[in-house]
Structure formats: structure tokens, C-alpha cells
Structure 1
Amino acid sequence: MKINLTKMMMLLTMFLSIMTALSTSSMLMIWTMMEINLMSFLPIMTKSKSMKDQPMKYFIVQSLASSIMLMSMLMNSMTETPLGSSIMLMSSLLMKMGLLPFHMWVPMIMKPMTWENCFILMTMQKIVPTIIMSQMVGLKLMLMPMCLTMVMAPIMAIKQMSMKTIMAYSSISNSPWMIMSLMNSKSQFVTFFSIYTVINMMIIKKMKIMNFMFLNQVKTQSNPNKMSIIVNILSMSGMPPMIGFFPKWMILQSTMNFSLVIAMSMVTSSILSTFIYMKMISPILMITSMSKKTTMKKKWTENDLVVNTTGTILCLMMKSF
């Protein structure tokens, strides 16, 4: 087995920069770590042959957002106004995370990327901006962009056929859930982010193995693969009793105590997301295959069903908290 030392070094640098940003209280240090994180991710993007000008597009968007963020920090230090009321800081973080109205770069950049890079972009790259946004920006300022993101991202994904584009819009609509979970409590954020990462990892692993790029390819898959896709997709949409439902339920319960508008946007977003995912799996459920039925000789080696159905056990465990 070949080990790509460059990739390993860059991933290690990314991980260390995130850990440093989490453990410091200086805004300038956090900004520096975000830049190191960006510079570590660019070589990983350029490793894939399908990427032409995408790394440069990603670099331009992220460096512009970083420049606006640094400018907002300097302006606020000069005028001695709180950072929580800075629209410039919020705009830079919205651009970094790919939330509305600065969201169009996410599906555009993710479409030609490899599945592994898509996974990094949807999970690791969101941690530091999420923490800054939840701790530094006021809720009143974030209310409109977050509600718009949760409602509009699934609507824009309805007509998409590319799996990577659908996953990009899914990532955009899940970002406000991350921010709200961290505003509620750190344990909620860790729970939601861990489960979201595991579900994404299982879906992306399955997509890569099957070379599954478009929605119409789902009909050609074998029955175990179809079952795995159904379970993972339902879990991503937050359907009970799958594991993806319970962190969203916890966040919704906590959010209802201080903002009904965001809670209603969360419910609407989940309904629209479920509609998209059901459209994805409806060919599997509705259309029966005309090919000759054969008995399955190989045993089930998939852990997706086991992981996702642990949601019922989580429900029982939550009674004790």
C-alpha cells in the first residue's frame, strides 16, 4: 500500500491548525490558523486530476473572506465597537462557510472534486468558522442569513441531478444547525458534528465504491447497495428512528426556548430536505427490477444499517439525561 506523504503532512497541518484555533482566545491567532488551514487544503485539492481551476477559485473566495474578516477586526479595534455587531465580520464568515447569500461557490467547487475532498470540505473546513460565528456574532444579526440558508438551500437542490451538488446543498443547509448547536451548548455541537461526520463518511464511502455520480444511476445498483443508500439518506434527512434524527431533535428543543423563527425554519428545512432525499430513493422503492432474481451468496458486510439504527438505543439513553 502506497502512502502519500504530502497528503498526510497536509492533513496533519490542517488538524493541528484547527486544534490551535480551538484552544486560543486571540482573534488574530484564529485568523492565522484559518489561513494555515486554507494553505494546507489547497495542495490536497490540486492532487486530483479532475481539478483544473477549482483550487484557484476556492483560494480567491477564501482569501477575500479572510481579508474582509481582518478588515472588520482592524476597524472595530479602531472605533472600539463590539465585534458582535459587525456586519463585515458576519459577511466574511458567511462567505467562508458558504451560507446564503455567498453560497454559489460551494456546489461549483464541489462538483469536480473527489469524494474525499468533498468530505473534508463538508466537515473539517467548517469547524473554525462555526465556532467564531457562534461566539462572536450576535444572534439578531445572524437570524436572517441562517433562516434563508435553511429554507432556500433545499429548494435549490430540488432540481439537481448530480450527487455532489445535492451533497453540497445538504452541507449548506446543515451549517446553521451546527451554529445553533454550538450556541446552545458544546456537548450538543460535539454530538451533532460527530454524527453528521459519520453519516457523511458512510454516504461518501458508498458513493465512491459504486461510482455513483447521478441520481438515475441508483436503479442499476444491487439490493444491498440500494438498502445501504436508503438507510444513510433517511438518516441524513433526520428521519426517526435513524441516528441522524436525535441530534436535530435536541437542537430543535433547545432552540425553541429562545427563537421560534429559527425553530420554524429548521422544521421547514427538514421537510424540504426529506422531500429531496425521498425523490432520490423513490426509484428504488417504487420500480421493481425485471432482472432474474438470484440468491445472495455473499454475506452482509455493511455496517450502515447497524450504525443508523442505533438511534432507537440513543432515544432510550436520552431519558437518563
Structure 2
Amino acid sequence: MALSSPQILFFSTLLLGTMLSVSSTSWFGAWVGLELNLLSFIPIISSKNNQYSSEAALKYFLIQALGSSVIILSASFMLTATGPASLLLATSLLLKSGAAPFHFWFPSVMEGLQWPQAILLMTIQKIAPMSLLSYLTLNHVFPVFWAAIMLSALVGAVGGLNQTLLRKIMAYSSINHMAWMMSAILISETSWLVYFTIYCIISSSIALLFFYQEAFHVSHLLNHTNHSSPLKLLTFMSLLSLGGLPPFTGFIPKWILIQELISSGLFLILAILLMSALITLFYYLRISLTAMTISTPKTKWNSKSKGLSYLAPSILSLNVLGLLVPSILMLAV
């Protein structure tokens, strides 16, 4: 996975655009950062090795350009009508981040990407829009937030049920986690940062495992022999951690957020989030139990597994860190 000089350049400008959006003191500076981020990501996802990358790049460009045009439109209303301008701004940022009901582009773009580019789309590309969402005055955009949280939870949960393509499963999982992250924004920026950081670590570890196994379909995960059962166990422990199953690491931010939502009295949002989390856990468990109980002849596509000898211990330590948290809390008490 060696990076060429142009890729390093575009990745640097992508990070620069994200930092500019997050740290800007004006909406114009934030818009400039979003545009720099967009123009840097397009060359990164365009790949000669993937025939669908050009289609994904075009879809991504059109959607992000639409979101940027809505931001400019909202700026024209900002001086005269603050409420409608804030609603338009929130809508454009939700479109850019891929939250429901503006999620229609996210799974199809994910389907055309390689795993390293998919990691960027699921993690770094969400930083700027979600940070800008947290800067909005919640009094004006609370109805939009409320609707986006409930729809993202339901779409992310139900949409992944009938999927067999791993990139689409990860896309719908990301949409579901967007609901949790937007709920965290309603509580505090600290809650959002904790949830987003742990989500990025876990989803990146799963995507790296899929990348080194060259797995793009559920059947690829099932086609392991008994010789690779530790690898299967590592993959599905990571999936269950992403689903928030106790006592893995992915449960920690959900545990914190559940307590905060109860303290804030947001019981309806919490009920929908918990219901959607159970549905996502269902399709993670369906993949995991099937793969752990079925052994099929070894296939030839698994050519990068040797690189996992260095990657596996770190991913294992990240995803089972949650097992140690009760012990640490007991010692602290």
C-alpha cells in the first residue's frame, strides 16, 4: 500500500482542507476548506485499477458540489432570515456527511472505492461537516437534527439487512453510526469527539482487515479454512466491536452516550438508537456465526494475508480494550 508522490500531496491538502474548515472563524473560510477537501479527495479515489472508481468520483463530486451550492445559497439568507438560513446550512452539511435522508449517494460511492479510500470516506471526510454541524445554533436546526437522527438510525439498520457486499454493509453501518454521532452533538462536543474517535479506530481496523484479505463479498469471508480461524475470529470480534456489543471497545462510547441521553431526557431518540443498534448487531452476528461455523476449501484470492502478522496484534488490542475498562474503573474506585 505504498503511496506515490501525487497521492501524498493530495492527502496533505485533504487534511489541510479539513483543518481549515474546523478552525475557520467564518463560514466563508469553512466553505473554502470544504472545497479544498473535495478537490483533494477526487484524485485520491480515481484509480486505474478499479473500473468503478471514475463513476464513484463523479457521483461524489456532483453531490459535494450540490452541498457547496446550498451552503452559498444559505449565506445569501443569513443576514435577512437566520432561521431558514440555518436550516439550509444544516441540510447541506447533512448531505455532505452522508446522513439520512440524504444518504442515497453514500453506499453507491462506497461500492466504487478500494478499501483505503473507503476508510477516508468513512472517517476523515466526516470530520469537517460534522464539526460545522456542531457549531450551528441548535434552537433553529433541532427539528432537522431530530429527523436526521431517527432516519439515519432506521436507514442504517434496515438497509444493511439484505446486503451481501461488505462495502455496502460498512456504508450502512456508517449511516447508523451517524445517528449516534449526531445525538452526541446534541449533548456536547466532547461526547461527539469520544464517539467519533473510537468509531474511526474500529471501522479503520475492520476495513484494513478486509483490505489485506481482499474481501469484498460475504462469501470471501466464509471461504477460509481452519488454518485461518484466528484471522476469522479477529475479523468478527472487530465487527461485533463496531456493532457495540459488550464488552468490546465499541460499547464504551455507546455506554457513555446512553447515560448522557438518559440524563438529558431524550428517551425517544435513545429508544430508536438502541433498536437500530440491535438490528445492526443482528446482521453482524449473522455474518460472524455463519463464517465461524462453516469451513470451505481454500481459495486463491487471499494473497495479502502475510501482512496481517504485524497488523493483527494491534487490531486485537484495540478491539478488546473494552474488556479491561471495568477492571480499571474498579481500581479507580
Structure 2: gaps (5+ residues): 299-307
Give 1:49 deviation, angstroms: 3.0
Per-residue deviation, residues 257-303 of structure 1 (Å, max 9, x unmatched): 24112111110111011011011112123336699xxxxxxx97522
SS of the equivalent of 2:78 reads helix
- Asked if 1:248 is matched to 2:249, the reply is no
Bigger CA drift: 99-108 or 155-164? 99-108
Quote the residue 1:56 is aligned against. Answer: 58
Quote the residue 2:274 is aligned against. Answer: 267
- Asked if 1:218 is matched to 2:241, the reply is no
Per-residue deviation, residues 113-141 of structure 1 (Å, max 9, x unmatched): 11011000000010111112223153233
SS of the equivalent of 1:52 reads helix
Q: What count of residue pairs does the alignment treat as equivalent? A: 312
State the AA in 2 paired with 1:267. Answer: L
Note the 1:1-321 alignment, pairs <5 A.
3-50=3-50, 51-77=53-79, 79-82=80-83, 86-136=86-136, 137=138, 138-221=141-224, 222-256=228-262, 257-287=264-294, 302-303=312-313, 304-317=315-328, 320=332
Q: Distance in 2 between matches of 1:32 and 1:300?
A: 42
Query: Aligned in 2, Cα 1:25/1:218: closer, same or farther, shift over 3 Å?
Result: same
TM-score, normalising length: structure 2: 0.87
CA contact (8 A) 1:255 1:263 kept: yes
SS of the equivalent of 2:254 reads helix
Q: Distance in 2 between matches of 1:96 and 1:160?
A: 23
Query: Aligned in 2, Cα 1:30/1:210: closer, same or farther, shift over 3 Å?
Result: same
SS of the equivalent of 1:53 reads helix
Give 1:170 deviation, angstroms: 0.7
Per-residue deviation, residues 185-235 of structure 1 (Å, max 9, x unmatched): 333222222211111121111101111111122222221211111110110
Give 1:93 deviation, angstroms: 1.6
Give 1:67 deviation, angstroms: 0.4
Give 1:315 deviation, angstroms: 3.5
Q: Distance in 2 between matches of 1:270 and 1:218?
A: 23
Identity of aligned residues (%): 27
Q: Distance in 2 between matches of 1:103 and 1:86?
A: 20
Give 1:72 deviation, angstroms: 1.1
CA contact (8 A) 2:221 2:291 kept: yes
Q: Distance in 2 between matches of 1:174 and 1:311?
A: 18
Q: Distance in 1 between matches of 2:172 and 2:40?
A: 24
CA contact (8 A) 1:252 1:266 kept: no
Q: CA RMSD in A?
A: 2.2
State the AA in 1 paired with 2:257. Answer: I
Per-residue deviation, residues 18-48 of structure 1 (Å, max 9, x unmatched): 1222222211111111111001101101134
Q: Distance in 1 between matches of 2:242 and 2:2?
A: 33
Q: Distance in 2 between matches of 1:48 and 1:182?
A: 39
Quote the residue 2:301 is aligned against. Answer: none
State the AA in 2 paired with 1:34. Answer: L
Q: Distance in 1 between matches of 2:202 and 2:21?
A: 25
TM-score, normalising length: structure 1: 0.90
Structure 1: gaps (5+ residues): 292-298
Query: Aligned in 2, Cα 1:145/1:2: closer, same or farther, shift over 3 Å?
Result: closer
SS of the equivalent of 1:58 reads helix
Q: Distance in 2 between matches of 1:116 and 1:279?
A: 25
